[in-house]
Chains A and B, each alone.
Chain A
Amino acid sequence: SAVISQKPSRDICQRGTSLTIQCQVDSQVTMMFWYRQQPGQSLTLIATANQGSEATYESGFVIDKFPISRPNLTFSTLTVSNMSPEDSSIYLCSVDRTGSDYGYTFGSGTRLTVV
């Protein structure tokens, strides 16, 4: 299955600032997915990122707050903008290797604390 490197693994940020999270995959993939996991909760899909096109956001998430870049088939970034304490969560990226029998692979996540 694919190997995902996600950076940073954790960060503590001041409210009102922005943080960019990077997701690097060891092979080319068509789609990359960004999730948020609030404390003690399940995962919520933020958006789907295709290379060469704008990301598709799920209900409740907007581009101004969570801009996403997808410059090539192995890399994506998610920015959490103008942060507030409510943005404190784990953010994870995920990929699906088309044709793979191993399902989707998830990064280990970025644990964000906003103070």
Chain B
Amino acid sequence: DAKTTQPNSMESNEEEPVHLPCNHSTISGTDYIHWYRQLPSQGPEYVIHGLTSNVNNRMASLAIAEDRKSSTLILHRATLRDAAVYYCILRVGGSEKLVFGKGTKLTVNP
């Protein structure tokens, strides 16, 4: 299964931008980059996904490196509700399954 590497934890201050990095050096051309987050005592929640181009939605932005070996999830203005574990996942092309890594625990300070 395709592997991703994320920092174990990060801290941010409320109302500041947050950049969550992810390395996926073994990515292949058809692998999608997915981001999910899991708030305490809840199931994971979809955040964003992309293939090659940068993506924006109401929750976040996804910046994908030109060689696709890394990506960054950007929360433009962190709130206390954004405190969660963020998972960067490669969905292998042709496969329907998501294989989770360890994720990054984001702490947002007031």
Contact = CB atoms under 8 A, between A and B. Distances in A.
Interface in B78-110: 85, 87, 96-103
B68 to A, nearest CB: 19
Contacts of A96: 96
Given A105-B46, A109-B43, A42 B97 contact: no
B103 A42 contact: yes
Given A103-B34, A106-B44, A108-B43, A43 B100 contact: yes
A45 B101 contact: no
A interface, over-half SS: strand
Given A45-B98, A104-B98, 13 more contacts: A42-B85, A42-B100, A42-B102, A44-B100, A45-B99, A92-B44, A103-B34, A103-B36, A103-B46, A103-B49, A104-B46, A106-B44, A106-B45
B100 A92 contact: no
Contacts of A33: 96-98
